[in-house]
């Protein structure tokens, strides 16, 4: 009798265990872990600027319009259609009337006004979104589902700006309830996923929004199939492949190229090389400090570097060599203004012509007793420090002494720039619109860290920003700007960014927005 009871108990326990395992497997099959590579200091997209925050939050928010990642065309989102006035100063958006925020608040023209007011309120200190609105004079309601954006001058990047997560539509009720200090922990949008929880430096959780019924055409699915997505942080690049191989994460980006190549050869994983629009990895020359105030010296330093070898050494075969101030996948990129290739003989001739000679044969060039000294300032991210080492090796060979300073973050990088105590400095931005060049190359640009000023370049870039009704003219203007930037040797472009994203084989359907960084999570599925 005791044996029978024991036997029945054992069977019952095994059955329960099987049920638990089946339920656990089912739950795991309908949830994934996504690895992030940076823990942002703030994740409210309306106020903070990190690209990393857009990886989860571009699926929490819908935008007025979306940009098709394949064609580049702008397509309806929360706005069903829009018109632009002949003078480019008025954008009228006709809104959907069937959209509800995750907290039950209706989406309408007043919600758009509340979002723009929140973003542009100077007390809220928006680092990116407010600037993306350019010369916005104001937004007004025509009726419940019609809203008008009025500009002080034409601004071609406006549609691109309105398609990005930084100007995603948030619940006015949530914005008012939580305010700028707490909203990042209680975000509410209209997208295919709901914001559940954010614990800084640990995890962020999203859950499927069951009532999502207004998906834009850029999505392949009308609703999400994966119920829960947990985002965890892996800032140390060495941990990313290990997290994949251990099953700790299902997908992660910015995998080092050697790990990515190895995992790509493993049938359990798939590599997704995602080209990122915007600027390439680059170092800007300081044109206000000797010796890089001489264009011949700048040209010589460019010619002395085998950029293809640098890229292969640091990034393997996954990244193309950069050839201008824009990456090749960015609208407005011109292949007609390539930078000069590797030519150490020409580099030596240029330095000789500029008066820098090695008279005593010690391998160091001097002019009037002063050594040819180059001070590179590199940020710590994106392999900038490794590239700086290779630049030093190349410039040593042509007779320069090279000092490398690693700025430990954007704040210190900005401090060094403000001091002017550098010859090259590494900085770049990502964006799907080429207008980002204005902040780098116009005389009063916020990121004009080269210190170069040219009224012709100012005119070209400002005119391009205002050509809102003539795309072909815009691209012609950016080609002209790229030629001027190349001819003045204002930067040394290194590589076009390619984000090496690796997924486990249990995931299907991964693709990304026009900005490159942001996955369209609604289309992710677990493999059947």
Which CATH number do you get for residue 187? 3.40.190.10
Considering Cα of 252, then 257, then 261, then 266, what sign does the dihedral take? Answer: negative
For residues 371 and 356, membership in a common domain is answered with yes
**Residue 16 lies inside a defined structural domain of this protein:** no
Q: Does 332 lie in the same domain as 204?
A: no
pLDDT at 20: 36
| Same-domain check for residues 459 and 356 | yes
Residues 395 and 519 in one domain: no
Is 445 in the same domain as 519? no
316 and 410 assigned to the same domain: yes
DSSP state of 237: G
CA distance 191 to 195: 10
Q: How many C-beta atoms lie closer than 10 Å to residue 143's C-beta?
A: 10
Which whole-number Å values give the CA distances from 358 to 153, 372, 432, in the listed order? 54, 10, 45
289 plus 258 within the same structural domain: no
What are 467-526's pLDDT values in tens digits? 988 999 999 999 999 999 999 999 999 999 999 999 999 999 999 999 999 999 999 999
Residue 64 lies in a domain: yes
Q: How many domains does the chain have?
A: 2
Q: Is 468 found in the same domain as 407? A: yes
Whether residues 319 and 188 share a domain: the answer is no
pLDDT value of residue 28: 55
pTM above 0.85, yes or no: yes
Quick check: is 103 in a domain? Answer: yes
With respect to residue 53, please indicate whether it lies within any of the assigned structural domains: yes
Spans of the chain below 50 pLDDT: 1-27
pLDDT of residue 69: 96
Is 505 found in the same domain as 490? no
CA distance 117 to 123: 11
The answer to whether residues 303 and 346 touch, using CB atoms and an 8 Å cutoff, is yes
Q: Is 4 domain-assigned? A: no
Decide if 8 is inside a domain: no
Tell me, yes or no, whether 126 lies in a domain: yes
In b/e form, how buried is each residue of 195-210, taking b as 16+ CB within 10 angstroms?
Answer: beebeeeeebbbbbbe
pLDDT of residue 527: 81
* 1 vs 179: CA distance, rounded Å: 68
Q: Are residues 56 and 148 in the same domain?
A: yes
Where does residue 289 fall: left (phi above 0), alpha (psi -120 to 50 degrees), or beta otherwise? beta
Question: Are 339 and 475 members of one domain?
Answer: yes
Q: What is the CATH number of the domain that holds 438?
A: 3.10.105.10
Is residue 42 a part of any domain in this protein?
yes
Is residue 192 a contact partner of residue 521, using CB atoms and an 8 Å limit?
yes
User: What's the domain range around 313?
Assistant: 281-496
Q: What's the pLDDT at 109?
A: 98
């Amino acid at each position: 009798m005791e044996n029978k009871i024991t036997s029945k108990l054992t069977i019952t326990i095994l059955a329960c265990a099987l049920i638990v395992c089946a339920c656990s497997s089912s739950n795991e099959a309908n949830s994934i872990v996504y690895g992030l590579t940076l823990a942002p200091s703030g994740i409210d997209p309306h106020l903070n600027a990190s690209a990393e925050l857009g990886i989860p939050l571009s699926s929490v928010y819908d935008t007025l319009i979306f940009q098709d990642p394949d064609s580049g065309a702008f397509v309806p989102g929360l706005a069903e259609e829009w018109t632009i006035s002949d003078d480019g100063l008025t954008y009228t958006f006709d809104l959907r009337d069937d959209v509800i925020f995750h907290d039950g608040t209706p989406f309408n023209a007043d919600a758009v006004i509340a979002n723009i007011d929140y973003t542009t309120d100077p007390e809220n200190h928006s680092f990116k979104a407010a600037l993306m609105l350019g010369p916005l004079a104001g937004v007004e309601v025509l009726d419940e589902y019609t809203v008008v954006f009025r500009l002080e001058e034409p601004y071609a990047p406006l549609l691109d700006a309105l398609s990005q997560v930084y100007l995603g539509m948030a619940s006015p009720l949530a914005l008012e309830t939580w305010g700028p200090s707490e909203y990042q922990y209680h975000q509410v949008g209209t997208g295919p996923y709901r914001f559940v929880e954010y614990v800084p430096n640990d995890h962020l959780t999203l859950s499927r929004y069951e009532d999502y019924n207004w998906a834009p055409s850029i999505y392949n699915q009308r609703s999400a199939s994966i119920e829960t997505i947990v985002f965890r942080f892996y800032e140390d690049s060495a941990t990313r492949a290990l997290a994949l191989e251990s099953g700790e994460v299902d997908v992660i980006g910015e995998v080092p190229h050697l790990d990515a190549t190895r995992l790509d050869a493993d049938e359990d994983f798939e590599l997704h090389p995602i080209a990122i629009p915007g600027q390439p990895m680059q170092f800007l020359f300081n044109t206000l400090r000797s010796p890089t105030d001489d264009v011949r010296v700048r040209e010589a330093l460019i010619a002395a570097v085998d950029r293809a070898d640098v890229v292969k050494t640091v990034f393997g075969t996954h990244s193309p060599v950069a050839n201008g101030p824009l990456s090749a996948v960015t609208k407005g990129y011109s292949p007609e203004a390539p930078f000069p290739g590797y030519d150490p003989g020409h580099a030596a001739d240029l330095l000789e012509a500029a008066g820098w000679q090695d008279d005593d044969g010690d391998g160091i060039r001097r002019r009037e007793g002063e050594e040819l000294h180059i001070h590179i300032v590199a940020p710590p991210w994106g392999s900038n420090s490794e590239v700086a080492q290779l630049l030093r090796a190349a410039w040593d060979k042509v007779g320069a002494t090279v000092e490398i300073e690693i700025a430990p973050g954007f704040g210190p990088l900005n401090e060094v720039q403000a001091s002017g105590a550098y010859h090259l400095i590494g900085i770049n931005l990502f964006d799907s619109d080429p207008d980002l060049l204005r902040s780098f190359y116009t005389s009063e640009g916020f990121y004009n860290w080269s210190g170069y000023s040219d009224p012709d370049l100012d005119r070209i870039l400002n005119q391009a920003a205002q050509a809102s009704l003539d795309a072909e003219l815009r691209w012609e203007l950016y080609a002209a700007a790229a030629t001027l930037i190349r001819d003045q040797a204002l930067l040394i472009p290194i590589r076009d960014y390619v984000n090496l994203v690796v997924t486990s084989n249990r995931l299907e359907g991964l693709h990304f927005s026009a900005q490159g960084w942001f996955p369209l999570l609604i289309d992710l599925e677990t493999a059947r």
